[in-house]
Amino acid sequence: MEIEQKSTQTASWVEKAELAAFNQDIAEKRQIEEREVLVVFPLGKEKYAISIEKVKEVVKLPPIAPIPQSADYILGVGNIRGNVIAITDLARRLNLDYNTDIDLATAFVIVLKDPNVHAGMIVAEVPDTIVVNKSQINTSAAVIKNLSASDQFIKGIVKVDGEMIILIDILEMIEN
């Protein structure tokens, strides 16, 4: 009986050790870095990105009907799959001073996914997607911290393969 009790105690200790190791393994897996999928597109000399969660689709640029007295970065409205959406030009919104003209005949639109905002952003080429660890997104850069209230849509800078990519929240830009 004493041997059974020691055997049970040993088994209990082994089970506790296995359980502790199992719980440690779970804790480590929870700490696995969260990842973010970004839609990346060039704009002039720089690359910009938005979260894929904010993208509904990418389509060929439809004909655009201008809207009188709208902001200069709103090119007009276009019909995409029966939905009228505002087409925005990020280069104009950011007041980029270098040549960022996009050939409208070959341009695309990143259609945003939001039930309240029916808008898209014009891009020169089909965007790329990348997966980054959230820790790669630098949100503490002095440039970001010192933005004016109207420019708070710049959410971070990502460095991938030696390139700097500016992460923006396009919905916040449009809403502001």
- If asked whether residues 98 and 39 sit together in one domain, one would say yes
The answer to whether residues 26 and 49 belong to one domain is no
The CATH number given to whatever domain includes residue 72 is 2.40.50.180
Q: What is the pTM of this model?
A: 0.74
Q: For 10-36, what is the mean pLDDT?
A: 69
Q: How far is CA 60 from the centre of its chain?
A: 21
**Are 100 and 19 in the same domain?**
no
How far, in Å, CA of 100 to CA of 104, rounded? 12
Q: pLDDT tier at 3 (50, 70, 90 boundaries)?
A: very low
pLDDT beyond 90 at 75: yes
Domain shared by 26 and 83, yes or no: no
Instruction: For residues 105 and 167, state if they share a domain.
Output: yes
Whether 5 and 65 map to the same domain: the answer is: no
**Structural domain boundaries, residue 16:** 1-32
Quick: pLDDT tens for 16-28: 777 777 777 666 6
Residue 151 has pLDDT above 80, yes or no: no
Top mean pLDDT of 52-61, 144-153, 164-173 is at 52-61
Indicate whether 14 and 77 sit together in one domain.
Answer: no
Report which DSSP code applies to 115. Answer: S
Rg of the chain taking only CA atoms, in angstroms: 25
> Are both 93 and 104 inside the same structural domain?
yes
